[in-house]
Amino acid sequence: MIDLLLKTSWLVPCYGLFGGLATLPWSTRAITRTGPRPAAYLNLMMTCLGFLHGAFAFRSLWGQPAQSLTVPWLNVGELHLSLILELSPVSLGALELVSGLSIIAQVFALGYMEKDWALARFFGFMGVFEAAIGGLALSDSLLLSYGLLELLTLSTYLLVGFWYAQPLAVTAARDAFLTKRVGDILLLMGMVALSNLAGSLDFTDLARWAPTAHLPMWQATLLGLALLAGPVGKCAQFPLHLWLDEAMEGPNPASIMRNSVVVACGAYVLVKLEPVLSMSPVVQGVAIALGTMTAIGASLVAIAQVDLKRALSHTTSAYLGLVFVAVGLHQSDVALLLLLTHALSKSTMFLGVGGVIATTTCQDVRELGGLWSRMPATTTAFLVGAAGTVGLLPLGMFWAMYRWMVEPTVPRWTLLLLLAVNFLTALNFTRVFALVFGGVPQPKTRRAPEVPWPMAVPMVSMTVVTLLVPLMLERWQLLLSRVTTVTEGVLMLDVPLMVALVMSGAAGVALGAWCYLRRGAVRPVRLPIAAVQDLLSYDFYIDRIYRLTVAAGVGAIAQITAWIDRYVVDGLVNAVGVAAIFGGEGLKYSTTGQLQAYVLVFLLGVSGFVAIATLSRGVMPF
């Protein structure tokens, strides 16, 4: 039985797809008497079945070598395309993470969207969402991964624009879709070139081909940059990072998935492509530069945000920037560990944020406050999620960062980058906690009750899971086997690095507490230089820069091409038409009705064509 579950583990992503399709009778209003909740229960049941199926498969495969499953797709002439799936502890573990967080988000949605008339449609979108992410976890083919990334982009568009009656939601969905398309188009170009150069699009074959390939440096660089563009867009990295901020207009249950595992999908593909990207030092440098800029820039921008969800979404971009740096430094195992710990802790934080929004119907941190005594479970979830995201001993992110810091080949500037991001993130989380949960109650929070049980159960469950992450890492041999050394039977830790990491987070908490928790603190604190405050609040004016450069350039080119089309192309066509009209009008007066005249004109015309053809060959007719 266990072997059968393992061999059919490729079906796990299909459970969510089947659940999404099963909601169609309720989504299309073919069934109205029962209301939309049966569709939600059906989709949730299918997700739970998929989670159990994946759990048995993961347990049976633990400690075993990876297995490959090939599905032939297209065989035409010399073109042979197959869809390759990888069954390994890493891929099945990622699949379980996706399924588990999907269950949490769906149960939370039962309470968060209890009175939403389109509940069935939301769960249908979530089923497709889950299927795309789960398929990416198992995919061992760049071709299959690209198709699933496109499905993920479509699902993001549908979920962000779920409340399509709101203009901001429609605009956000459009911008998210178009921004991702920029990276997807470049990724498609790189994929086509790679299939021609390597002869395969399977990640396993690419990992064997890349070390022995001998490509010109310019070719390897262009190929790597094209492949890098896709993950840059999916992971909301500079300069394609604006979509994640605007995607917060969608329902919060979808934001739980989007800020934990959706953005990690692009990074997961990036890790798989790391051997190909390593062929060019320029590509590695670009990945490190983009990751560093996003990590520092997004951490600074998050501090100046007043929207509750956007203040946290920018930190997601920052931590994905650290993943890009890790991949650029050939530390893919550290990148995967960062993705795991960040996904669990950030989902816990967004559960708490969703509870606040559902209770107060407000996302502006300036209008919140004093919720810690009225919503203890929500406050605990936010605190535990925040502690698990920063390097706070002994929670998960601390060990992920510490493991990176003790790598023997890590550059010194990377240590400073980790400490800076940890400090800024701790400062931001303390600021948000003080404004939302601390202080005195505000008009919108004076009567705020705790969330109902459909929202409280997943919130408490993820709080416990986040606290147990260090034990999970130790049991999976991801912790002590790499971050410690054994000397005479005693485990030795690098105490100075541990202290530096803890102190960076403690300094951020202390500064945030001094600014916002002390008596007489201004809500919110403004920087002495207003220009700097506005610079961070408006995300370094990136959207305005785009309007003045890219959008203006495209608009100018469109106007030029429209002028050419109207006055040059259309003018030439109209001139030919007018000439034909005048020619016809002029020739009709030369009609005599005499047959011999017509024959003479015909012979003269034929003779002229023959003469021209002969002269063009260089032969004289006489």
pLDDT tens-place string over residues 31-61: 878 888 888 888 889 889 988 888 888 888 7
- Six-digit token string for 298: 């997004």
Q: Are 324 and 353 members of one domain?
A: yes
pLDDT tens-place string over residues 443-465: 888 888 888 888 889 999 999 99
For residue 620, pLDDT over 80 is answered with: no
Instruction: Find the mean pLDDT for residues 265-294.
Output: 89
- Six-digit token string for 459: 């919130």
User: What does the pLDDT read at residue 557?
Assistant: 92
Position 380 in a domain: yes
Instruction: Find the mean pLDDT for residues 69-97.
Output: 78
CA dihedral (181, 183, 188, 189) positive or negative:
positive
pLDDT tens-place string over residues 467-480: 988 888 877 766 65
For helices 37-61 and 12-22, give the axis angle rounded to 10 degrees.
170
Position 64 in a domain: no
Q: Are 371 and 394 members of one domain?
A: yes
Q: What are the beta bridge partners of residue 486?
A: 491
The pLDDT confidence band at residue 487, using thresholds 50, 70 and 90, is very low
With tokens 């249950």, the residue in question is 253
For residue 577, pLDDT over 70 is answered with: yes
- Six-digit token string for 149: 């990334």
Point out the domain boundary residue: 518, 537, 556.
Answer: 537
For residue 521, pLDDT over 70 is answered with: no
Q: Are 500 and 617 members of one domain?
A: no
For residue 172, pLDDT over 60 is answered with: yes
For residue 88, pLDDT over 90 is answered with: no
Q: Are 558 and 456 members of one domain?
A: no
Position 597 in a domain: yes
The pLDDT confidence band at residue 486, using thresholds 50, 70 and 90, is very low
Return left, alpha or beta for 35; rule: phi > 0 is left, psi -120 to 50 is alpha, else beta. Answer: left
pLDDT tens-place string over residues 363-395: 888 888 888 888 888 999 999 999 988 888 788
Position 27 in a domain: no
Q: What percent of the chain has a predicted confidence (pLDDT) above 90? A: 8
Burial string for 114-140 (b: 16+ CB within 10 Å, else e) reads: eeeebbbbbbbbbbbbbbbbbbbbbbb
Position 18 in a domain: no
Position 62 in a domain: no
| Mean pLDDT of the chain, nearest integer | 83
Cα 291 from Cα 266, distance rounded (Å)? 13
User: What does the pLDDT read at residue 616?
Assistant: 65
* pTM (two decimals): 0.85
Instruction: Find the mean pLDDT for residues 339-354.
Output: 90
pLDDT tens-place string over residues 293-303: 999 988 998 88
Q: Are 461 and 484 members of one domain?
A: yes
Q: Are 584 and 495 members of one domain?
A: no
Q: Are 395 and 307 members of one domain?
A: yes
Q: Are 466 and 612 members of one domain?
A: no
Count up the domains in the chain and report the number: 3
Q: Are 605 and 567 members of one domain?
A: no
User: What does the pLDDT read at residue 488?
Assistant: 42
Cβ(236)–Cβ(244) under 8 Å?
yes
Cα 300 from Cα 321, distance rounded (Å)? 13
Position 160 in a domain: yes
For residue 483, pLDDT over 50 is answered with: no
Q: Are 406 and 439 members of one domain?
A: yes
User: What does the pLDDT read at residue 13?
Assistant: 86
Position 508 in a domain: yes
For residue 529, pLDDT over 80 is answered with: no
Q: Are 560 and 610 members of one domain?
A: no
- Six-digit token string for 504: 């960076």
Q: Are 327 and 392 members of one domain?
A: yes
Q: Distances in Å between the alpha carbon of 135 and those of 92, 144, 299?
A: 11, 9, 31
| Domain boundaries, position 561 | 540-588
